[in-house]
Amino acid sequence: MTALVDTPSQRIDALRRTMMASGINAWLVPSSDPHLSEYLPGHWQGREWLTGFTGSVGTLLVTHDFAGLWVDSRYWVQADKELSGSGIEMMKVAQGQQILAPIDWLNIHHPGSITLGLDGAVLPLAAHRAFKARLGDSATIKSDRDLLEEIWPDRPALPQAPVTSHDDTLAGQTRSERLAQLRQAMDEAGADAHLISTLDDIAWLFNLRGSDVDYNPVFLAHALVDAHHVRLFIDQDKVPAELREALADDGVFLHAYAEVLDALTRLPEGARLLIDPARVTLSLIQALPDQVSLVEAFQPTTLAKACKSEVEIDHVRAAMARDGAALCRFLCWLDETLVSETPITELTIDARLTAERTREKHFISRSFPTIAGFNANGALPHYRATESAHSSIEGQGLLLIDSGAQYLDGTTDITRVIPVGEPTAAQKADYTRVLKGMMALSRTRFPEGIEAPRLDAIARAPLWEAGLDYGHGTGHGVGYFLNVHEGPQVISRGAQPTPQTAMREGMITSIEPGLYRPNQWGIRIENLVANRLVTDVETLDGDAFLEFETLTLCPIDTRLIEPSLLREDEINWLDNYHRTVFERLAPKLDEPTRDWLAEKTQPLAG
């Protein structure tokens, strides 16, 4: 069996044989798991196993005579390369439309009666409803089987990493306080039970952390909360006895991970279950008895988790200072190494940067795979160097470094661009326009409650003036020692401005405009910011306004700036930022690195 599924084309053929035997015309494979995670445990990386495409987002559709992978512009170059020779066609799609685009393709190429198969255990309930609406009554959706289980001979087992407690002093709230807050929201929604499957919400709610998912300190579990008790469905071997007792003291009782479906089937007649259709899977809801009524609302923990308390933000500030010190040591080393012409590669960058962060207190891991792209590789927004495919850093060009870390007291994400050799006038112009966009949004004040996607154009305006743009979003929410990509806020012109995306006090968000010239260079400048109430002006009718506090502490390379493109107020913002960076980081650095930082934070204004 194994010999028949060694390559993507052979794996697709094996899938087709199973589809035909099952009466299925088309099979859909999203990049998803039963918790609708971004980064997936190996057990649910079926789309990557079938196609060989290693990007984090993409949707595969296979029919009897066609196989296509829908990806957005961040992955077009990567997908074109990785799908070569597989027989799988790359399908270009607008960002955020990967799930529905294959359904629209089916409507065009297979109108009328068709049977679409998919694994209901990894599909959001909301997506299933959208599929049915698009396909119409003539189509059948079969969601009760996972065909990958039948053709994937060496499928990875579920992860078994231990679960630990996140100290209340770091969390800022106790488990009991968060459960009380959730139950109040349940009462207000008219629900007497609530199902949670998203892993970062579960980790946050119970002040627990794990490592079942690379880069994200979460663990596989579902939670069912009622007015008095909580059932946490998890591999109980992961939870030490002492932690089990502490959970039980707070009314949280452990059950086997696979028992969640059985528990849902046993909900009492008349139960009112609160769910978020975008955050639970189809299979879970299909397990419910007919007598259970659904209360559909935005998941309360998602917003509560996004609005960091002052205690959490204070901890993040401390984590940012330590992260900034590690970055300065790394960048000082990099400057010295480039001058000495010591051979280094993109892989060297990741190794050295991670080593510097590892020295810092509370460091746990990277928060995502480091992106270190030199010249043309930097033009791939989600590029990742590998042992078999990476570039040496030599000659002249731009080195884009996007990296981050998980600390017990915060999650970081930062992008900087470093010149190698003497930058060209074109590179300086591009870099300065991206910097102008980052600064424009960083300086913005806006009404509390405005939908985050509406802020996107502010960062693009300096690029639009020159006829330039970029294909990804401008900002994403960031967790607190949790997922580096977190909602509900997202600053992106491709996102729908819904009430759920409203900007609230305490949210932490990235600001990261970019510019990518294929086969030449890529530029992205990224800081993390926190939403803070404006207090120094009176607003009309007393309306609350927010502004951004920049949390990231790391110099922005001024060697790439074309000063003539900056206004005086922009120069002043950059000089003030660099003054803060030096004041906060200098006490944490050794003398050579402190001298380096003093040079890198010299004011442009003179």
Q: What integer is the mean pLDDT of 510-523?
A: 97
Residue 603 in this model has a pLDDT that exceeds 90: yes
Phi-psi region of 313 (alpha: psi -120 to 50; beta: other; left: phi over 0): alpha
| Per-residue pLDDT, 3 | 45
**Per-residue model confidence as pLDDT tens digits over 259-269:** 999 999 999 99
Highest mean pLDDT among 338-347, 433-442, 539-548: 433-442
Domains 2-151 and 164-297 share a fold: yes
| Per-residue pLDDT, 494 | 86
The residue extents of the domains of the chain are 2-151, 164-297, 307-600
For the chain, report the end-to-end CA distance as a whole number of angstroms.
Answer: 70
Across 98-102, 371-375, 396-400, 588-592, least confident range: 98-102
Residue 514 in this model has a pLDDT that exceeds 60: yes
Residue 14 in this model has a pLDDT that exceeds 80: yes
DSSP conformation letters of 291-355? TPEEEE---HHHHHHHS--HHHHHHHHHHHHHHHHHHHHHHHHHHHHHHHT---BHHHHHHHHHH
Q: Class for domain 307-600, per CATH?
A: alpha beta
| Per-residue pLDDT, 273 | 97
DSSP conformation letters of 10-28? HHHHHHHHHHHHTT-SEEE
CATH fold for domain 164-297: Creatine Amidinohydrolase; Chain A, domain 1 (3.40.350)
**Per-residue model confidence as pLDDT tens digits over 542-570:** 789 999 999 999 999 999 999 999 999 99
Across 415-419, 506-510, 602-606, least confident range: 602-606
Cα distances from 110 to residues 20, 134, 196, 257, in angstroms, run 16, 13, 36, 39
Q: What integer is the mean pLDDT of 521-536?
A: 96
Q: What integer is the mean pLDDT of 379-395?
A: 89
**Per-residue model confidence as pLDDT tens digits over 157-201:** 999 999 999 999 999 999 999 999 999 999 999 999 999 999 999
Q: Is 74 exposed, middle or buried (0-12, 13-18, 19+ CB in 10 A)?
A: buried
| Per-residue pLDDT, 113 | 87
Label residue 506 by pLDDT band (50, 70, 90): very high
Residue 154 in this model has a pLDDT that exceeds 70: yes
Across 274-283, 299-308, 340-349, 561-570, least confident range: 340-349
Indicate the pTM of the whole model. Answer: 0.93
**Per-residue model confidence as pLDDT tens digits over 459-477:** 999 999 999 999 899 999 9
Q: Which residues of 293-305 are buried (b: 16+ CB within 10 A; e: fewer)?
A: ebbebbbbbbbbb
For residue 59, the cross-strand partners are 70
For residue 52, the cross-strand partners are none
2-151 falls under which CATH superfamily?
Answer: Creatinase/prolidase N-terminal domain (3.40.350.10)
Which of 378, 382, 385 minimizes the C-alpha distance to 420? 378
Residue 95 in this model has a pLDDT that exceeds 70: no
Distance CA 58, CA 37 (A): 13
